Amino acid sequence: MSDCCAPSAKNGNGRYDLIVVGAGSAGFSAAITAAEQGAQVALIGHGTIGGTCVNVGCVPSKALIRAAEAVHHANAAPRFAGIAAQARVADWGAQVAQKDALVAGLRQAKYADLLPSYNNIAYNEGRARLVDGVVEAGGKRFAADRIIIATGTRPALPAIPGITDISILDSTTALELTALPRSMIVLGGGYIGAELAQTFARVGVEVTLVFRSRLLPEAEPEIGAALAGYLADEGIKVVGGLTYESIRRTEDGVALTVVRDGHLETLAAERVLVATGRAPNTESLGLEQAGIARTPVGAIVVDDRMRTSKAGVYAAGDVTGKDQFVYMAAYGAKLAAKNALNGNSLRYDNSAMPAVVFTDPQVGSVGLTETQARAAGHNVRTSVLSLDNVPRALAARDTRGLIKLVADGDTRKLLGAHILAPEGADSIQTATMAIRGGLTIDDLAETIFPYLTTVEGLKLAAQTFDRDVKKLSCCAG
C-alpha cells in the first residue's frame, strides 16, 4: 500500500493523539473525524483496505442483486398487457467481473486515494495487538492515550456436525462464483440469507432457504410471513422452524439433515451457502490481557459513549455487535473519535435508525416494532395497509407488500414504521425523519405527499388508524 499512504504523522515526542485499529468504514470514519480536528492519527489496517462493505458486503451484493432483478423484471413483463420480454444469464462470470471492477474502483476512490489528503493520518499495515499500553503491528509499536478498535467481523460457521468437512460458501465466497451451481441450500433466514437466496434463484439456481425460526426474525411477523410467500412464489423452497442435525458430502454435492415437526428430513443440493451470522474479529488483539470486556460471542462491550471497559480504549462498528450496518458503523466511529478527543459528551442514539433488506419487495424499517413498543410500556396502536391500497402499486401491476405503522395510542406519536414494497427502501427515510422529529400519525396523515409514489403509502397507512382509505377518492384527506 505504499502508493496510498500518507507520510508519517505524529507529535514531536513520538506519540500519536489517536490510534485507530481497523481500516474499514468505521476505521476511516474515526480517523478522518479525528484528523479534521487536527489530531495526529495512526491508522492500522490488516488485509484489504476498505473493510467489509465495499469489498465483500454491501457494494458487491447489491450490484449482483440488481443484475438478478434485471433478469426477473424482464421475465415478469407479461404482467403488463401486450408486453413480451425475456432475459437469462448468458455469462455470470462477466457479471462478476463487472462487479469486481466496481468494487476495485470504489475501494480506490473512497479509501486508498483519500489517505494522501490527510497529512496527519499515518497509515500502517499489520495485525494489531494491544501490549503494555501500546499497539504493536507490523513489527512496530504505536503509542497514544486514546485507541479506537474497529476491526469488524467475518462470516461465522454454525455448530452443525460435519460442517467443517465440506466445502461451504459464505456471503463472501458466494459473490465470487464465476459459474453458477445447479442447486443451492442457503442456511439462515436473516437479511443476508434472504437477499442471496432470491438473487441466486433469479439467475437460475434451484434454491432451498432454511432457517431455525422464521424469516427475518427481527422484522414484524406480518412482513416476514408475506416475504416468505413471495419467495416461494418465485420457486424458492422456504423451510423454517427447524433444527440442524448434520451435514455431509455426497457424490452430487451436500446433504443437510434437519429436524422439523419432530421428524428427520434430508435436503440435498450441489452447494451450501452459510449465512447464519458473523463473528467479531477480536481473537488476536490481546483484549483479555488488556482488560477489555467482550460478550460471550467475542464482541467488544461498549457503553453509549463507545467506551470499552478499559479507560482510553473505544470500539466502534460491527466488532461491537451493535447495529451491523455500514452507516451505523461510520456513525459510531465518528462519535468515538469525538468523544476520545473531546471529553465523552456524545451518546450513541439508534432510536431513528433506518434498516433495509434488499430483497424484492424490499423491507424498510425504523423505530419500534409492535412487540418492542408494548415491552416499552406504550399503549400501542397499529395500522396495517396492504399495497393494493396504494395507487403506485396498482399502476405498477405489483401489489406485493404492506405497510405497518406503530403508534402510541395516548400521544398518537409515531413509534415505528415497517414497509414491505418493491420500492420500500427509498420510502423509509420519510418515516425516519418523522420519528426523529417526534411527529404524530396525524402529522403524517395531514402532510401533502405526491400522488402515485410508494411513499404516499405512509400517508395512507397513517389515515388507516381512523378511517377506511378505500372510501377516499384519489389524494383525498
- Known binding residues: 62, 188-195, 277, 318
Residue 39's identity, in one-letter code, is A
- Give the dihedral of Cα atoms 89, 91, 92, 97; nearest 10 deg: -140
Length of the chain equals 477
Instruction: Taking the CA atoms of 391, 396, 399 and 401 in sequence, report the sign of the dihedral they define.
Output: negative
User: End-to-end CA distance of the chain, in Å?
Assistant: 60
Query: What whole-number distance in Å separates Cα of residue 206 and Cα of residue 276?
Result: 20
Q: How far are the Cα atoms of 164, 184, 187 from residue 252, in angstroms, in the given order? A: 18, 12, 18
Could you tell me the CA-to-CA distances from 188 to 135, 162, 231 in Å, in that order? 37, 17, 14
Annotation: binding site for NAD(+): 188-195, 277
Selection from 464, 470, 374 nearest residue 416 by Cα = 374
Task: Give Cα 34 distance to the centre of its chain.
Answer: 26
Query: Which residues fall in the annotated binding site for FAD?
Result: 62, 318
Three-state SS across 102-170?
HHHHHHHHHCHHHHHHCCCEEEEECCCEEECCEEEECCEEECECCEEECCCEEECCCCCCCHHHCCCEE
Burial of 121 (0-12, 13-18, 19+ CB in 10 A): buried
Q: Cis link prior to 361 (omega < 30° from 0)?
A: yes
Instruction: Give the Cα separation of 405 and 445 in Å (integer).
Output: 12
434: helix, strand or coil: helix
Whole-angstrom Cα distance, residue 356 to residue 234?
A: 21
Asked if residue 362 lies in contact with residue 424, where contact means CB atoms within 8 angstroms, the answer is yes
Give phi and psi for 136, each to the nearest 5: -100, 135
Label each residue of 306-349 as H, E or C.
CECCCCCEEECHHHHCCCCCHHHHHHHHHHHHHHHHHCCCCCCC
Task: Record the cell numbers describing residue 133, joined without a space.
Answer: 499500553
